[in-house]
Every structure is written in structure tokens, then in C-alpha cells.
């Protein structure tokens, strides 16, 4: 009986070791491409937890993670499908090697509920990205960024810089806070500002403003678009 128990323990140890080895093998390795940002995202996303970690190009993800790569530089019409729900600045999405997220391709990224204030997204691309759900990007810099068709409903974006940003057909409705934002030479064609707040926003008079939806919008001068003939035109100066 003793020999049988010893044999059983040896078999179990072997199987356990094999399982561990298999799990390590199944963890996806990074591509090694230095032109990409490399991350490992947990297979089961948890609220208020570090679901994504940035790693080096030759680092393997753990068995409970999936490798995720996306370009360092933006490219027109990109398709990154980067998912980082409830990202928290400096804890999950973080800065890459302590650098700001300049010229990053985040087209179609899902960043719902993330907290990313004071970030520098200059020149980055957010085409068809989802930045709704109470995401916080206050005081961030979107100079020359492309937010075409971006979902920004309810975004907390006070004091953000949208200088020369492309916001064509962006949805900035449903309580979006754009107070004190800078829209110098931005493209606001077909933007939806329904129920949004623009009080104190600057330089909107320099922006392209064709086809904007003004509805219950707090204009830069503090008046309501509904009381101004359903527009903020003529009320763009704080």
C-alpha cells in the first residue's frame, strides 16, 4: 500500500508539472516587434483592478492573460480594436516607458470609464473609439488628434485642448463636460453637442462648425442653445 501511495504521488506530481508547463506554453508570447506597444490583458476583466500591463517586446504573458499588441504611431484608417475598460492612468494604460501617448493609434479603442487626465494625446488617432461612460480626460491635450466618429457621450473633458483636432461626427452629447476646453481651429463638422456643457470654452469661433447639433447645450457664454434659437452661434465667446 505504501508503494502504491508513493507511486500515486509521483503520478500526481508529474501531471501537475505537466499542467504548469502546458499553461506556460499556452500563454501567448509577444511578437518581438519594436514598432508595437505590447501588453498582457487578463482573460477575466475585474473592476478597479489592473487588467492590463505594458510589457517589453520579448516578454511572455502569463497563463491567465492574453497578449495584445497595437501600433505606437497612428495610421489613417487603423483598426487596433484596443480594449481597456476602466483603465486608470499610471496603473493600467499608463505611459509607455514614461513617455506621453503621442501619435498612438487607438482607432476603435474601447476606453469606457477610464481615468486618463492630464495625458498628452497629441497627434493620436481615436477614429471610431469609445471614450464614453464617464471617462475622465480633463486637462488632456488632443492637439492634432483625430476623433472622427468617436463616442464621447458623457465624457469629463473640462479644460481639454482640441487645437486643430478632427472631431467630425463625434458624439459629445449626454452630459459631456467640455467647460473651458480649447477648440482653436478644430473641425467640429456634424458634432453632436446635445445636453453637453461648453461654458467657458474658448476659440470655438475659429473652428469649422458645419452641421453641429445644438440641443439643450450650455453655450460658452453660459446661455442655453434652446433659448438662442436652438444654436450657440452668436454665443461662442465666454
Distance CA 114, CA 35 (A): 25
**Greatest CA separation found in the chain?**
93
Per the structure block, which three cell numbers stand in for 154?
Answer: 458623457
Say what the pLDDT of residue 105 is.
78
Residue for cell digits 456643457? 197
Among the ranges given (19-33, 40-54, 103-117, 176-190), the one the predictor scored with the smallest mean pLDDT: 19-33
Q: What is the DSSP letter of 40?
A: E
pLDDT digits 0-9 by tens, 133-171: 777 889 999 999 999 999 999 999 999 999 999 999 999
Say what the pLDDT of residue 38 is.
77
pLDDT digits 0-9 by tens, 46-99: 655 666 777 887 888 888 887 777 665 544 444 444 545 444 333 334 443 334
Tell me what the pLDDT averaged over the chain comes to: 76
Question: Above pLDDT 70, what percent of the chain?
Answer: 71
115 touches 92 (CB < 8 A):
no
Question: Above pLDDT 90, what percent of the chain?
Answer: 43
DSSP string, 135-176: -B-TT-B-TT-B-TT-B-TT-B-TT-B-TT-B-TT-B--SS-
Please determine, for residue 4, whether its predicted confidence score (pLDDT) is greater than 50.
Answer: no
The mean pLDDT value for 107-115 works out to: 76
Residues 209/150/225/176 CA torsion (nearest 10 deg) = -140
Say what the pLDDT of residue 163 is.
98
Of 99 and 109, the one with more pLDDT = 109
Please determine, for residue 229, whether its predicted confidence score (pLDDT) is greater than 80.
Answer: yes
Distance CA 91, CA 7 (A): 47
Say what the pLDDT of residue 202 is.
98
Say what the pLDDT of residue 88 is.
37
Residues 6+ positions from 219 with CB-CB distance below 8 Å: 198, 199, 225, 228, 232, 235, 236
Amino acid at each position: 500500500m505504501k508503494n502504491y501511495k508513493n507511486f500515486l504521488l509521483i503520478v500526481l506530481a508529474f501531471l501537475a508539472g505537466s499542467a504548469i508547463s502546458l499553461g506556460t506554453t499556452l500563454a501567448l508570447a509577444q511578437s518581438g516587434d519594436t514598432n508595437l506597444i505590447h501588453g498582457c490583458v487578463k482573460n477575466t476583466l475585474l473592476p478597479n483592478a489592473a487588467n492590463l500591463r505594458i510589457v517589453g517586446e520579448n516578454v511572455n504573458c502569463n497563463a491567465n492573460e492574453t497578449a495584445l499588441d497595437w501600433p505606437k504611431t497612428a495610421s489613417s484608417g487603423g483598426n487596433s480594436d484596443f480594449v481597456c475598460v476602466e483603465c486608470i492612468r499610471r496603473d493600467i494604460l499608463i505611459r509607455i516607458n514614461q513617455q506621453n501617448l503621442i501619435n498612438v493609434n487607438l482607432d476603435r479603442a474601447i476606453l469606457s470609464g477610464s481615468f486618463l487626465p492630464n495625458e498628452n494625446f497629441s497627434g493620436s488617432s481615436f477614429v471610431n473609439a469609445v471614450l464614453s461612460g464617464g471617462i475622465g480626460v480633463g486637462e488632456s491635450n488632443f492637439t492634432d488628434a483625430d476623433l472622427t466618429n468617436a463616442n464621447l457621450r458623457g465624457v469629463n473633458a473640462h479644460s481639454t485642448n482640441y487645437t486643430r483636432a478632427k472631431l467630425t461626427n463625434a458624439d459629445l452629447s449626454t452630459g459631456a463636460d467640455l467647460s473651458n476646453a480649447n477648440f482653436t481651429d478644430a473641425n467640429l463638422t456634424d458634432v453632436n453637442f446635445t445636453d453637453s456643457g461648453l461654458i467657458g470654452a474658448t476659440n470655438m469661433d475659429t473652428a469649422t462648425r458645419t452641421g453641429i447639433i445644438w440641443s439643450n447645450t450650455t453655450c460658452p457664454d453660459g446661455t442655453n442653445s434652446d433659448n438662442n434659437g436652438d444654436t450657440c452661434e452668436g454665443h461662442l465667446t465666454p
